[in-house]
Amino acid sequence: MNKAQIVSKMAKDAKITKKQASKAVDSLLDGIAKALKRGERVGFVGFGSFMVRKRAARKARNPRTGEIIRVRPKNVPVFRPGDKLRKTVK
């Protein structure tokens, strides 16, 4: 399911226009992204949680040259599904 399909379903279910649904989806995604950028956890009870994890620095190998390089630490977004979502998908 892509964004356009989500917007269509949301517009139909909530009886709003696609433009309003698109704005709501954009606002939700923007809010989640900004909260994650601030290092906050975003949770939806039963659905799951979005959070940021710090990936440690590590050594890697350039596959072309075989040279060992250092990969810097970085923050990565992760999603952890909730119990209700896991049971639904199972």
Taking the model in full, what pTM does it have?
0.80
Query: Which tens digit of pLDDT belongs to each residue from 35-57?
Result: 999 999 999 999 999 999 999 99
Q: Are 50 and 36 in contact (CB under 8 A)?
A: yes
**62: which 2 tokens?**
């350039």
State the average pLDDT over residues 2-6: 97
Domains of the chain, each with CATH number or no CATH? 3-89 (4.10.520.10)
